[in-house]
Amino acid sequence: VRGYRPDPVPETVMAAAVAAAQSAATSSNLQTWSVVTVTEPARKARLAALSAQQRHIEEAPLLMVWLADLSRLRRLGRRVERPTEGLDYFETFLTAAIDAALAAQNAAVALEAMGWGTCYIGAMRSYPDAVAAELALPPECFAVFGLTVGRPAPGAEGEIKPRLPQSAVWHREAWAEEDPADIAAYDRAMAAFNAGQGLAAADWTDRAMSRVAGPKALSNRDKLKAYLEKLGFALK
């Protein structure tokens, strides 16, 4: 959903979303994620400016920013005077990013089940240092993505977007290359879907290839590794 009514998201709904998020599986029960809820219009506007100026970030009454947060375990280690060198490895960063994604998706499903619309905001990774400053994040805490939340505006309820055929993603016993005919069929389905949405009838192949063409298409996220190091992640 990328168009929202202004109705605020009640505190009880936010609490239910966080409860759903905390119910997700988490690697070794380390719970290496956190979330910041942003409702203040000026702060949402500043975060939208850092996220390709996507209009629905300002429009949504709530922006949830999902964090890979190793800082909690680092502080704990200092407090109890135990070593925490394991946090310095890329594996632990990946664990935190996976934890954040699982938590967020649980929240998204719960919110949608309660009639709220959501949209992930990967563009929030374009300027991670500025996002960290805006949200007062400590070192080793990274905004993996945002999630806009609100009641869908009339006409913006969204439709179910077709996916690749199962045969393209489902491998039995071992991986096998997809049949190009499956991709061609999906291109036709996506072109028809996009046309129905009033969008250019570009097929999936064309859009996907544009998105992975080179570093420019990553909208500054080609520099992510350097940003993460700046945020204090050792990524060994």
Out of 55, 75, 161, 230, the residue judged to bind ligand FMN by CB under 6 A: 161
> Is 119 an interacting residue with respect to ligand FMN (CB under 6 A)?
yes
Which of 17, 121, 131, 149 contacts ligand FMN by CB under 6 A?
Answer: 121
Smallest distance from ligand FMN to CB 201, Å? 16
Could you give the string, one character per residue 44-63, with x where binding to ligand FMN holds by CB under 6 A and - elsewhere?
A: ----------x---------
Q: Which residue's CB is nearer to ligand FMN, number 87 or number 143?
A: 143
By Cβ distance, which residue is nearest to ligand FMN? 122
Whichever of 34 and 54 has its CB closer to ligand FMN, that residue is 54
With CB under 6 A as the contact rule, the residue among 6, 8, 41, 122 that binds ligand FMN is 122
Alpha helices in the chain (DSSP H): 11-22, 41-49, 55-59, 71-80, 90-113, 128-134, 166-169, 180-196, 204-211, 224-230
Residue 105 structure tokens = 């998706």
Query: Which residues share a beta bridge with 150?
Result: 117
Q: Which is nearer to ligand FMN, 55 or 225 (CB)?
A: 55
Provide, rounded to whole angstroms, the least separation between the CB of residue 125 and ligand FMN: 9
DSSP secondary-structure letter at 227?
H
Q: Around 220, how many Cα atoms within 13 Å sit in the side-chain half-sphere?
A: 13
| Count of residues touching ligand FMN (by CB under 6 A) | 10
Report the DSSP beta bridge partners of residue 152: 4
* Residue labelled with tokens 């063409």: 213
Piece of the chain touching ligand FMN by CB under 6 A; list 68-76, 119-127, 174-182, 198-206? 119-127
* C-alpha dist (Å) from residue 221 to 52, 122, 206: 12, 10, 21
User: Does 193 help bind ligand FMN (rule: CB under 6 A)?
Assistant: no
Q: Which is nearer to ligand FMN, 87 or 147 (CB)?
A: 147
3-state SS assignment for residue 203? coil
* Shorter beta-carbon distance to ligand FMN: residue 30 or 208: 208
Dmax (CA) for the chain in angstroms is 60
Nearer to ligand FMN by C-beta: 77 or 162?
A: 162
Question: For residues 131 and 221, is the Cβ–Cβ distance under 8 A?
Answer: no
Q: Which of 89, 95, 75 is nearest to 139 (CA)?
A: 75
Q: Is residue 120 part of the contact set for ligand FMN (CB under 6 A)?
A: yes
For ligand FMN, the binding residues in 170-189 under the rule CB under 6 A are none
List of residues 6+ apart from 25 with CB closer than 8 A:
102
Q: Which residues are near ligand FMN by CB under 6 A? A: 2, 54, 119-123, 145, 158, 161
